[in-house]
Amino acid sequence: MLTGRDIVYISSIEWTFLWQVHQEIALRLARAGNRVLYIENMGVRSPGLKDASRIVSRLKHWAGSFMSRGVREVAPNLYVCSPLVMPPFGSSIRRRMNRHFLLPAIGRTARRLGMRDVLVWTYLPTDSAVDLVKLFWNSRGASIYHCLADFPALSATPDELTQSEKDLAQLSDQVFTNCSRLSERLFQWNDNVSIFPPGVDLAAFPPDESLEQRVRSGDSVQFDSSKHAAQSGPVIGYVGGLHRHVDFDLLAEMADARPNWSWVLIGPFQTSVEKLRGKDNVLLLGPKLHDQLVFYVRSFDVCLVPYVKSVYTETVVPAKLNEYLAVGKPVVATDLPTIREFNDRHNVLIATENRADKFLQAIEDALRLPNDSETIERRRQVAALCDWNLQLHAMSDLVEQKLRHKRY
């Protein structure tokens, strides 16, 4: 396991955002004895009105860390920095401002933390990220590009983003991706590409009450609604952000078609959920602590990944997939390319079109599946292939190989 390193970790999300791969890996690297400077999202485009709340939050974090000289310690060995930088892909003046004034401030922050021979681990392929990689480069350090999305396909400036991603891939000692489609695209610029789908903490998602992580006295998880008890049918559940990639039309139509089923959605509201509000059989429970999710998932009869099909979701590998399977639950998901690829390997879930009739039929098929210990263990074995301990050790081995090669 990688240890004793100084890591500048350029995330594409805020530290306090919905828990994802970015925070999980950063925290585990810190716990392994590395010093990690987590750089909150510097953006992949110029901000607009819809980004106002994020900008205000960034300013608050920056102001809040002013007395601590730009960083806040969120865990032992783990420091979060909320840099003020100009948006990427702007004028040459904007980039010079970043290069000569704003990005060097991150370098000074790293030096104040005593960082040297830095390993840069970036999720962003922007010109700002490329400049930051160059800022920290030395012969005893290394750089990693961890790609979780097809950024050029999602960008308003695809040509510029493609060029900066190419530059970053060519600068990187190692590239990680979450699926074969991203891997194939990045391989044209770097042949050190490895696929690591989102991991799962098996200890945090046990299928029964017998494991180490029991609920403390008085903390038992219950649905805070009389509506749930009133439903006679199965509980169909979803855990994750309620964002624009969730097919709310599909969910609303299915809830109307099966009024005696309980439809339970757990996660922060990141877009309008009005299509589901007011339905007696739909429970919108909002965000829950990550270590409580297992108790909700245990109550589900079928777990869902009801995503729309889009350019974005073509390369999404839902982290919730292995969390559902770790608890031993049947899963019905939209037949996205990554879902089909997963199922071709493991044949452990039901993938279907995001049409209400097809999805409902798939859920009914899932409800008829065996629920014996052998079936539950089979699902958990598939999830165990992506256990975070295995993932991080494999990633660390690749990084250590690059560092050894550079030393000699």
pLDDT tens-digit series, residues 145-191: 999 999 998 888 899 999 999 999 999 999 999 999 999 999 999 99
Which range is least confidently modeled, 9-18, 23-32, 50-59, 213-222? 213-222
Give the residue, 256 or 230, on which the prediction is more confident: 256
Compute CA distances 352 → 125, 136, 305, 337, 359, whole Å: 33, 46, 10, 11, 6
pLDDT at 38: 98
Q: Kindly state the percentage of the chain with pLDDT values over 70.
A: 84
pLDDT digit string (tens) for 312-326?
Answer: 999 999 999 999 999
Cα separation, 237 vs 406, in Å, equals 48
Asked if 208 and 313 sit in the same domain, the reply is: yes
* CATH number for position 178: 3.40.50.2000
- Among 1-10, 35-44, 127-136, the range with the most confident prediction by mean pLDDT is 1-10
Asked if 192 and 206 sit in the same domain, the reply is: no
Asked if 298 and 352 sit in the same domain, the reply is: yes
**Lookup: tokens for 339:** 């879902």
DSSP element (H, E) containing 350? strand 350-352
pLDDT mean across residues, the chain: 88
The answer to whether 276 and 284 have CB atoms below 8 angstroms apart is: yes
Residue 10's DSSP bridge partners are 39, 122
Q: Among the residues of 32-81, which ranges form H helices?
A: 52-64
Domain membership of residue 132 (yes or no) is yes
Domain membership of residue 115 (yes or no) is yes
Cα separation, 109 vs 81, in Å, equals 8
Number of domain units in the chain: 2
Asked if 116 and 224 sit in the same domain, the reply is: no
pLDDT at 407: 62
| pLDDT classification of 68: cutoffs 50, 70, 90 | very low
Asked if 129 and 180 sit in the same domain, the reply is: yes
Domain membership of residue 106 (yes or no) is yes
Asked if 216 and 183 sit in the same domain, the reply is: no
**Lookup: tokens for 325:** 């399977």
Q: Among the residues of 178-219, which ranges form H helices?
A: 180-186
Cα separation, 187 vs 355, in Å, equals 35
Number of C-beta neighbours around residue 203 at 10 A: 14
Domain membership of residue 327 (yes or no) is yes
Asked if 209 and 171 sit in the same domain, the reply is: no
* Beta strands in 76-165, from DSSP E residues, in sequence order: 78-81, 119-122, 142-147
Tokens 């991203």 sit at which residue?
A: 182
Q: List the one residue out of 96, 102, 107 whose CA is nearest residue 83.
A: 102
| pLDDT at residue 231 is higher than 80 | no
Cα separation, 121 vs 29, in Å, equals 11
pLDDT at 270: 94
| pLDDT at residue 210 is higher than 50 | no
| pLDDT at residue 55 is higher than 60 | no
Cα separation, 2 vs 393, in Å, equals 8
Asked if 100 and 224 sit in the same domain, the reply is: no
Q: Among the residues of 117-179, which ranges form H helices?
A: 127-136, 151-154, 158-171
Asked if 174 and 224 sit in the same domain, the reply is: no
The answer to whether 81 and 39 have CB atoms below 8 angstroms apart is: yes
**Lookup: tokens for 72:** 């806040």
**Lookup: tokens for 146:** 């961890």
Question: Which range marks the domain in which residue 392 is found?
Answer: 6-199+388-407
Domain membership of residue 1 (yes or no) is no
Q: Among the residues of 306-372, which ranges form H helices?
A: 320-326, 337-346, 356-367
Domain membership of residue 306 (yes or no) is yes
Asked if 175 and 121 sit in the same domain, the reply is: yes
Domain membership of residue 211 (yes or no) is yes
| pLDDT classification of 212: cutoffs 50, 70, 90 | very low
Domain membership of residue 82 (yes or no) is yes
Asked if 355 and 209 sit in the same domain, the reply is: yes
Asked if 302 and 351 sit in the same domain, the reply is: yes
pLDDT digit string (tens) for 345-370?
Answer: 999 999 999 999 999 999 999 999 99
